[in-house]
Amino acid sequence: MSVSVRIPTILRTYTGGDSEVSATGGTLAEVLDDLDASYAGIKGRIIDEAGQLRRFVNVYVGSEDVRFLDNLETATPDGTQISVIPAVAGGC
């Protein structure tokens, strides 16, 4: 299944500056593996050492946050858009 993945500015160094790239996979985990095969190291910025989504990275399949779906096992139908969005934190 071919999907498009929107890449946040902070991770575009891995994609040569591209803001959107294509990947394949039937689940989010498979898509991230395929993404890492094309853009070495990017998966490590999204997934932690325990194999879970990093705390401050949000991933959406379509318009749904995968943490409220099946997390890394969320299905990624053909043509789906995946968005990787770093959490914004800050304050006074």
So where are the chain's domains? 2-86
Mean pLDDT of 28-47: 97
| pTM exceeds cut of 0.85 | yes
pLDDT more than 70, % of the chain: 96
Q: Quick check: 90 pLDDT over 80?
A: no
pLDDT tens-digit readout, 52-68: 999 999 999 999 999 99
Q: Quick check: 92 pLDDT over 70?
A: no
What is the reported pLDDT for 89?
A: 66
**Residues contacting residue 36 through CB under 8 Å, at least 6 positions apart:** 42, 43, 44
What is the reported pLDDT for 1?
A: 79
DSSP label at residue 5: E
85 near 8, Cβ under 8 Å?
yes
84 near 5, Cβ under 8 Å?
yes
CATH number at 2-86: 3.10.20.30
Residues 80, 88: Cα–Cα separation, whole Å? 24
